[in-house]
Amino acid sequence: MAIAYDRAPAGYDRRAQQAAGGKGGVQKMGGASGLADVLNVILEKGIVIDAWVRVSIIGIEIVTIEARVVIASVDTYLRYAEAIGLTSLAAAPRGSEAIAPPAGLPGLPTGFVGPTEEEILAYLDAHPDGVRLGELQAYFGAEREELQGILNRLVQEDAAVLDAERRLYRPGNVLAPAIP
Partner 1 sequence: MHSTSSQPATYVYGVVPAEPFQTGHPPLRVPGIGGHGDPVRTVVLRDLAAVVSDVPGLRVDLRRENLLDHQRVLEEVLHRSDVLPFSFGTVATNDEEVREVLLHDGYDMLCEQLAYTRGCVELEVKVFWERERLFAEIAEESEDIRALRDRIPLLPADEAAAESITLGQLTEREIELKSEWEADAVLDALDPIAVDVLVSPKLSDTMVLNAACLVERVREPELDVVVAALAEERSGRMVFHYVGPLPPYSFINLAFEARG
What is the x/- site pattern for partner 1, positions 5-34, by CB under 8 A?
A: x----x-x-x--xx-xx--xxxxxxxxx-x
Query: Is there binding between residue 59 and partner 1 (CB under 8 A)?
Result: yes
Of 2, 69, 113, 126, the residue at the interface with partner 1 (CB under 8 A) is 69
Q: Does 53 bind partner 1 (CB under 8 A)?
A: yes
Q: Any contact of residue 55 with partner 1 (CB under 8 A)?
A: yes
Residue 30, sorted as left (phi over 0), alpha (psi -120 to 50) or beta, turns out to be beta
Taking the complex as a whole, the smallest distance from the CB of residue 134 to partner 1 amounts, in Å, to 4
Q: How many residues in the shown chain lie near partner 1 by CB under 8 A?
A: 88
160 binds partner 1 (CB under 8 A): no
Of 96, 144, 158, 174, the one binding partner 1 (CB under 8 A) is: 144
User: For the chain, how big is the Rg over CA atoms in Å?
Assistant: 23
Q: Is 126 in the site for partner 1 (CB under 8 A)?
A: no
In total, the chain counts a number of residues equal to 180
Chain centroid to Cα 91, Å, comes to 25
Shortest distance, position 38 Cβ to partner 1, whole Å: 6
Q: Specify the residue, 104 or 128, whose C-beta has the smaller distance to partner 1.
A: 104
Q: Which of 77, 73, 147, 76 is nearest to 117 (CA)?
A: 147
Give the torsion through C-alpha atoms of 4, 6, 11, 13, to 10 deg.
Answer: -100
Burial class of residue 33, CB neighbours in 10 A (0-12, 13-18, 19+): buried
Handedness of CA 50, 51, 52, 56 (dihedral sign): positive
Q: Which residues contact 128 (CB under 8 A, 6 or more apart)?
A: 170, 171, 174
Asked if 137 interacts with partner 1 (CB under 8 A), we say yes
40 lines the binding site for partner 1 (CB under 8 A): yes
* Least Å from the CB of residue 122 to partner 1: 20
120 binds partner 1 per the rule CB under 8 A = no
